[in-house]
């Protein structure tokens, strides 16, 4: 079936550094959402993209508008509060009510 491959699976950053997470899709996707899961287990929606890029503070996400087969999440000037598990989820369209297909997550640890 359709798959979402998320990388890296774990990432350790020092405060103030930049990094990027990536999701590759095995097929063309209609849209992508990015989430951060906090220590309490809640899913915090960061971005929803049907195309192009969006930016919110130190976070920026892009969805490949041409092939629609990958998305990235850039973290600029990482802070301690950015720590958590990040998930991308893509919408394939068609069956299953346009379900979201989730990646396996990136465990981000930001250190002083």
Which residues contribute to the site for other proteins (CB under 8 A)?
1, 4, 6, 30-31, 33, 35, 41-43, 45, 48, 50, 87, 89, 91, 93, 96-100, 102-105
Nearer Cβ to other proteins (13/49): 49
Cβ closest to other proteins, residue 79 vs residue 93 = 93
Closest separation between CB of residue 16 and other proteins, Å? 29
- Least separation, in Å, of the C-beta of 106 and other proteins? 11
Minimum CB distance to other proteins smaller for 7 or for 79 = 7
Instruction: Identify the helix (H) or strand (E) that includes residue 97.
Output: helix 95-98
| Of residues 24 and 79, the one with the C-beta less far from other proteins | 24
Q: How far is the CB of 89 from other proteins (least distance, A)?
A: 7
Residue 50: how many other CB atoms lie within 10 Å: 12
Provide, rounded to whole angstroms, the least separation between the CB of residue 76 and other proteins: 23
């Amino acid at each position: 079936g359709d798959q979402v491959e998320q990388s890296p699976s774990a990432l350790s950053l020092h405060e103030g550094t930049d990094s990027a997470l990536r999701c590759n899709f095995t097929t063309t996707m209609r849209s992508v959402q990015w989430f951060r899961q906090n220590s309490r287990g809640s899913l915090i929606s960061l971005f929803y993209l049907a195309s192009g890029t969006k930016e919110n503070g130190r976070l920026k996400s892009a969805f490949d508008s041409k092939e629609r087969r990958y998305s990235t999440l850039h973290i600029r000037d990482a802070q301690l509060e950015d720590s958590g598990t990040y998930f991308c989820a893509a919408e394939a369209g068609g069956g299953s009510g346009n379900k979201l297909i989730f990646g396996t997550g990136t465990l981000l640890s930001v250190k002083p």
